[in-house]
Copies of this chain bind each other. A is one copy, B any other.
């Protein structure tokens, strides 16, 4: 299958290119390489050293047959997107090409507005390019479980049966996102569904949990095939950050009481799920929503798990609570569905202990790199608009 990956240089985009090439798909992608700039802007660095575009492309071409087509360009430029689609004629488009950080979007007015303009515009451009060039193509748009927020009822996959004042309808499940970034993904979900309705195009909207992991089997031992792994307050997500903290003996940073529950999944599971979505496209005009995560965990539960596994390999770890920079519920009901991917054959990694252990071992070699940037581990971007480093509260 010809698959176009928007955001091919990112934490998920790059492994997806490697994964799909290993499975014999033809892959093209585009990226403006902004993730590298954003991480530098907030003082971070990838814990795992990664290659540049040319080195990556060379490595993937050595590992598999046909050329990987990796373009540098801006997805908010419609002429660029349309031209690429006319050339490559994708059968599927995976949209990972966005600014993906909640805290980064919360820095100030400029970061908020830039995030929403960028994300909304480039998602619209992909929708329009599909319509105008390859109307049969399947869009897999990455959303996030964060679009739903934390309602007091179960979270279905996109839609639910509603009874209201004695009448019934099947309606989109309400979205209550918790950052300007997450709001941008809600906007994209609304736009994506609308496109399928008016044009009869097809889309899978993936509400993905928080991904963790340092690699996938398809990367083998080639360091040039590795993906990035961030640990700063903006681009480092919970388990990835905890592992980096464990490596350098920094206390694991729980925000607030730590009972926030979220869906999580290993990088390999994310690849497996995206592969299943690609290989089982929706019908023309169909808009379907998949909740994509291995399981739901509380942040504290994960911190204790990392502490425990780190202890097994001789890394003593402390856990500390910090005042929460975010506006969010810290103790709440959370019960999302994830049946659609199971129905397609998704085999969740049941053993996240092994995944976390492998991460710690991968990261050990890069202890100096992480230690040299340890000041990015404590957040100072606050949801109330203030800029103040979180203090230890317990």
Residue ranges of A at the interface with B (Cβ–Cβ < 8 Å): 78, 109-110, 112-113, 116-117, 120-121, 124-125, 128, 131-132, 151-154, 156, 160, 162-165, 167-169, 171-178, 180, 183, 186-187, 190-191, 194, 197-199, 327, 333, 383-385
Contacts and interface: CB of A to CB of B under 8 A. Distances in A.
Tell me how many chains of this kind the complex includes.
2
B190 A183 contact: yes
Contacts of A162: 153, 162, 164, 174
Contacts of A191: 116, 180, 183
Contacts of A128: 109, 112-113
Contact of A167 (B154, B156, B176, B197): B154
A198 B385 contact: yes
Which 5 residue pairs are nearest across A and B when measured between Cβ atoms?
A152-B169, A109-B128, A153-B164, A187-B187, A172-B174
Contacts of A160: 164
11 contacts: A78-B110, A113-B121, A153-B169, A154-B164, A160-B164, A163-B163, A167-B333, A172-B175, A177-B190, A183-B190, A183-B194
A194 B198 CA distance: 29
Contacts of A187: 116, 120, 183, 186-187, 190
Nearest to A132: B109
B199 A385 contact: yes
Nearest to A173: B174
Given A109-B128, A153-B165, 9 more contacts: A113-B124, A120-B120, A152-B167, A154-B167, A160-B164, A162-B164, A167-B333, A183-B187, A183-B194
A171 B176 contact: yes
Contacts of A197: 327
A103 to B, nearest CB: 13
Contact of A168 (B109, B110, B152): B152
Nearest to A178: B194
Contacts of A151: 169, 171
A327 B193 CA distance: 13
Contact of A113 (B116, B125, B154, B165): B125
Contacts of A173: 174
Contacts of A110: 78
A155 to B, nearest CB: 9
Contact of A383 (B78, B120, B198, B384): B198
A78 B169 contact: no
A194 B174 contact: no
A175 B190 contact: yes
A384 B199 contact: yes
Contacts of A132: 109
A355 B350 CA distance: 68
Contact of A131 (B125, B167, B385): B385
Contacts of A194: 177-178, 180, 183
A183 B125 CA distance: 15
A37 to B, nearest CB: 21
A261 to B, nearest CB: 15
Contacts of A172: 174-176
A205 to B, nearest CB: 15
A173 B165 CA distance: 14
